Every structure is written in structure tokens, then in C-alpha cells.
Structure 1
Amino acid sequence: MKAYMGRASFVALCVVLCAGCALLSPVKIDTKKYVLDRIPLDLPIAQAHSATLLVLVPETDPIYATTQMTYTSQAYQIAYFSQNEWAETPSQMIQPLIVETLRRTHYFSEILAPPHFGSHTYALRTEILELKQDFSSNPAILRLTMRFYLSREVTAQVIATKELSVQEPLRDRSPYAGVVAANEAMVYVLRELAKFTVEKAH
């Protein structure tokens, strides 16, 4: 009887210890990852030129130089979603979109991107100034602001600049709706960037 009680106590102790370990184990939280990958279909198709273009990696405000997705719910505040993030930094996702968009205009004979610099006629530098979901407004909106600089390689002189700011409404107040709005805003920005680059590179 004593042996039975001893075994029962041992089993009970093991159950308690295992339960305690389970409580102390970190909870696994699945993080959803999202991408910016849309390119405008209605691009200006220009006559081909011999000029070449170098598309530099976009510079980014430090707030947005991360895979964390930013949002604001009140003035002067920036926060990051805990279970939703970008698959890559905005800069890493946007640069190939710029390259592909400008290739589809057929204006430049070649479009280069780092690390392949090579000789080029023009260089395009971009800045990501803002990329956040704004829940302080009604409806909530996605704010995207970018600035472009086009320069000549020979003189390194900036020949044209343009800043675009887009406010795209969210379908609902959720991180995913913000991603959809960000892709819509990106389509508009890329279309305007293509027009700007082709017009100023004449």
C-alpha cells in the first residue's frame, strides 16, 4: 500500500512539474509577413533611346528602415504591429519594382542596379519618407511619401526632383487592409515615377 501511495505521489509530482514547465515555456506567436509587389500596367511606352539608367537602392527614413510595419493612432505617435510585418524592408521590396517598372517603359537601352553599377547616362535616387497606416483618421488611410532625384553621370548634377505623397483609404481597420492600400499607393507612385523619369531624361 505504501509503495502504491509512493508511486502515486511521484506521478502526481511529475504532472505538476510538467504543467509548470508548460506554463513557463514561451508562447509561440505566428507572425504574418506581407510584400509590396504590384507594378502599374498602364505605363507610358516611349521610343527607345541609347541612354542607360542606374537605379540606386532607395534611402529610407530610419523609422521605416525595418521589416516592422508602422502605424499611428494619434498625432505625434508611431507604433509597430507585433504580429504583422513586411517580408523584407520597404527599400528592398521597392527597388526591384522601380527597376521593372522603368524597364517596361522601353525608354532606356539598359537599366542597371547595384551591385552592377557600370557606365550609365543617368542615375535615379529615391527616398522613402513615409510608409504608415494612419488609424487616427476616419476612414483609416495608408500614407506613402517618396522623393525622386534624377542626375547625369558625367556631372553628378541633379537635373530634376519630384516628391509624391499618396493617401490611400483602407477598406477596414486592419494590418492586411493597410498592405492592400500600400500596394495600391505603390502602383500610383511607380506610374508617376515612370512619367517623371522618361520626361526628364530627354
Structure 2
Amino acid sequence: MIVFHHRSLLLAFALLLSGCSILQPVSPLVLKEYRLESASMAKSMVSSPSSVSIEISTIRAVPELDGRHMLYVQHPYQIERYQQSEWQQKPASMLMPLVMAALEGSGLFQVVLHSPNPINVTYRLELELVQLEQEFTVHPSLIHLGLRAYFTENKSRTIVAWQEFNVTQAAPTEDAYGGVIASRLATTEVLRQLVEFCRSHLRQTMATP
């Protein structure tokens, strides 16, 4: 009887501890938010201001990037989402002011506008974010950033040129924050290439009689 009573007390004590742990509130997950930024780009020094203007359409995004989720890949063809980290806004929305600042600082255009606007501009730039994900199938992990651009003559609605920019950047750490740092560097490089893309085709159109 004494042994049985001792075992009963141990069982009751275990159940009490179990019940207490169940009743304790579960700590909520701490969600971290990150901004998509770029490094400062040197402004172009031009002898005379450009007389042409450009309108940048609202940047579109492929469906998987039309949200604030931060994406990563551990296995080929399988895209996953970070559970405790996300972008502060949709990446395409954060990219828009960066594109405008890069083109304003390029010296290529007298005016850089965000569509829609009532002003009749010379050119129009349409952009689509097609990739932004962190790949863990290699070490160090890599950020892949893809942006598609269409450079259009506004009056004739003629597409002068289009190009897809794809930049890969190694992450300094194997986590979401490392991906953010790499995204900043990748964004800076994509903006540099986008400015050169506009510069090249602007020269071609201006040289055409």
C-alpha cells in the first residue's frame, strides 16, 4: 500500500506539472521586418541638362513576389517562405523610389515622373520584378534578383528596347538578415545596369533622324 501510494503521488505531481505547462501562455513569434535598399549612387556630372523626360510605370511583380514574404530555396524548384522575417512593404513598392532616384541622379533626363501623371513625357519605362529569393543549395547562400525592363517611346507607343537584368550576390550570413544585406548589393548593381540600359538606348534614339 505504501508503494502504491508513493506512485500515485508521483503520477499526480506529473499530471499537475503537465497541466501547468499547458495552461501557460505560448510566447508569440517575433516577426522581423526589413527594408529593401540600395547603396548611394554617384550623380552624373553633365555639362548641360537633358531636354527629355521619362515616366516610370508602377513596378509589377510576378505572383510569388506580389506580397511581403521573404522567399528562399533549400531544394531545387521548391520555394519556401521565412516564418519570422518579411519585407516591410512589397519589394516592388520599395524598389520604385530607388529606381526614380537612380534615374534622377543619372543626368539623362530633365524630368523623372511616376505614372500616372498629366504631363506629356518623351519616354516611358515599364518594369517587372521577376525574381528575389535566397538560395541555400550552395554555400555561401546566394540572393538572386531579376528585373525586366521595357524602354518605350511615349508618343508612338513603340518599344525601343527591352532587357532582363539578373544579378546574383553572395550573402554574408546564412539567414534572412544575410539575405537582406545581399539584396542591397544586388539592388545597387541592378540599378546601375538599368541606368546604363537607358543611357545606351537613349543615345540610339536621339541619334536616329
Quickly name the TM-score band, shorter chain normalised: 0.7 to 0.9
Q: Structure 1: which 5+ runs fail to align?
A: 1-15
Aligned Cα root-mean-square deviation (Å) = 2.1
Structure 2: how far apart are the matches of 1:63 and 1:45?
A: 39
Deviations 1:82-111 (A, max 9, x none): 110000001100011000110011221111
Residue in 1 aligned with 2:127? 126
Where does residue 191 of structure 1 map in the other structure?
Answer: 192
Q: TM-score, normalised on structure 1?
A: 0.84
1:42 is aligned to 42
SS of the residue corresponding to residue 138 of structure 2 reads: coil
- Find the aligned partners of 2:122 and 2:200 in 1 and give their Cα distance: 15
1:159 maps to which residue?
160
Q: Is the 8 A contact 2:146 2:165 kept in 1?
A: yes
Q: State the one-letter code of the partner of 1:77.
A: Q
Q: Which residue of 2 aligns with 1:78?
A: 79
State the alpha-carbon separation in 1 of the partners of residues 40 and 139 from structure 2.
27
Please tell me whether the aligned partners of residues 40 and 191 of structure 1 are also in contact (alpha carbons under 8 angstroms).
Answer: no
1:98-129 Cα shifts (integer Å, max 9, x gaps): 00110011221111103435211100011111
Q: Deviations over 1:134-191 (max 9, x none)?
A: 0011221000111111001111111011211111011121100000000000000001
Cα contact 2:30–2:84 (8 A) shared by 1: yes
Equivalenced residue count is: 186
Name the counterpart of 1:138: 139
TM-score normalised by L of structure 2: 0.82
Runs ≥4 residues deviating over 3 A: 19-23, 42-47
- Following superposition, the deviation at residue 48 of structure 1 comes to 2.1
Q: Which residue of 1 aligns with 2:10?
A: none
Q: What is the Cα deviation at residue 196 of structure 1?
A: 1.1
Q: Residue 137 of structure 1 aligns to a residue in which SS? A: coil
Q: Partner of 1:73: helix, strand, or coil?
A: strand
Distance change in 2, residues 1:117/1:142 (3 Å): farther
Residue by residue over 1:30-70, the C-alpha shift from the partner in whole angstroms, topping out at 9 and shown as x without a partner, is 21100112244235445522111001111111011110100
Identity over aligned pairs, percent: 24
Q: Which runs of 5+ in 2 are unaligned?
A: 1-16, 204-209
Structure 1: which amino acid aligns with 2:70? M
Which structure 2 residues correspond to residues 45-124 of structure 1 after superposition, within 5 A?
Answer: 45-46=45-46, 47-124=48-125
- Deviations 1:1-27 (CA, angstroms, capped at 9, x unpaired): xxxxxxxxxxxxxxx9xx68954x564
Instruction: Give the corresponding residue for 1:5.
Output: none
Structure 1 residues 169 and 92: alpha-carbon distance in aligned structure 2, compared to 1, 3 A threshold = same
Check whether the contact 2:32–2:86 (CA below 8 A) recurs between aligned residues.
yes
Match runs of 1:175-186 below 5 Å: 175-186=176-187
Equivalent residue for 1:29? 29
